[in-house]
Amino acid sequence: MKQNKIFSFIIVAVFSVLMFTGCNSISQTNKASDDPSLSGTYVFVAKDMQNPYMQKVYEGFNRACNEFKAKSLYLGPEAPTSQKQIEIIERLIELNVSGIAIAANDENELQPALSAAMDAGIKVISLDSAVNKDSRQVHIQQADPERIGRELIRSAHEIAEGSGGIAILSSTKQAPNQNLWISWMKKEINENPQKYADTPIVKIVYGDDDPTKSASEAQALAVDPSIKVIIAPTIIGMKATADVLKDMDSSIKLTGLGLPSKMAPFIENGICPRMYLWNPVDIGYLAGYTLNALIDNKITGDVGNTFSAGSLGEKTITADATGGTEVILGDPYKFDLFNIAEWKSIY
């Protein structure tokens, strides 16, 4: 394991130098003898590298790669922007990696770079936050987006006891996964106008998955008298909002998608009566095995393909809602006072 850590460090160091020495130096040294290629390497490109959720995804991705003895690399922007992800993808093409798994900061803007990667023979999947169907061979879907969106708004409605404004503190304005979940929240309300007549969505704000910006957005919501419940469909927004509501001794309640390890105190003190998530480590692990099946030509990414995903067992590729394909990890878990004690030490 130690050797693998050293190897990963060297790879990241090499990549960092190549990233910042500009394109010319890569093309000039791109000779067979001293080609700094990363061939054989599986890369997870995060929304942003600081996010603890993304680090847990990589933990699973790396575990899978160790099991089938492939090199893995963890990369991503400092802040969740699509431009930085494009730059990373372009470098990875030059470095001749074998596969890219990406949590996208935009559904469509990555398409030229990811299409170029696939044209160069690199296998491409998205996970957690999908690119459009033409930008990848398959998407790793943590759970049914419709189920996530509807569960979150129903939960907020129940916590509000049927009356009071609901605010959403999301990630970035372009985040494909959060925007899909929010669209299902709105659809649930639009399809049930009577039920939600007194619990409308009164505000949607964006914390950019930045703890500081999320906290300042939460402070503004906390003084809005029309708001009774906040939904944060991001683990960064959840933790930042919970801290603010506690510090301000607010009566506003919180639900959303949170890491049990970070949110346990707020479930125990009642600020967050319940929340949902899935295991991010399993997402990364499943992504690693999916890439491996593509790279080894065991699957093409088409509907009906089946493959072994290590300790997760046999998985089948199904149609997604956009005409593309996906592999679904499972159902979202609900975390509350009755089960948080067992989960807070797991992830």
User: Which residues form the interface with ligand RAM (CB under 6 A)?
Assistant: 47, 51, 53, 103, 128-129, 171, 175, 177, 209, 234-236, 257
Nearer to ligand RAM, 234 or 290 (CB): 234
Least Å from the CB of residue 212 to ligand RAM = 15
Nearer to ligand RAM, 240 or 257 (CB): 257
Least Å from the CB of residue 177 to ligand RAM = 5
DSSP code string of 36-50:
---TTEEEEE-S-TT
Least Å from the CB of residue 245 to ligand RAM = 18
Per-residue tokens: 109: 């803007």
- The residue whose Cβ lies closest to ligand RAM is 53
Angle at 71 between CA 70 and CA 75, to 5 degrees: 135
Contacts of 100 by beta carbon, 8 Å cutoff, 6+ apart: 43, 45, 89, 92, 114, 117, 122, 123, 124, 125
Closest CA to 70 of 98, 95, 49, 90: 98
Least Å from the CB of residue 210 to ligand RAM = 11
Q: Which residue has the tokens 């930008």?
A: 135
Exposure string for 22-38, b = 16+ CB within 10 A, e = fewer: eeeebeeeeeeeeeeeb
Angle at 149 between CA 143 and CA 151, to 5 degrees: 90
Nearer to ligand RAM, 18 or 75 (CB): 75
Least Å from the CB of residue 51 to ligand RAM = 5
Nearer to ligand RAM, 234 or 325 (CB): 234
Nearer to ligand RAM, 36 or 211 (CB): 211
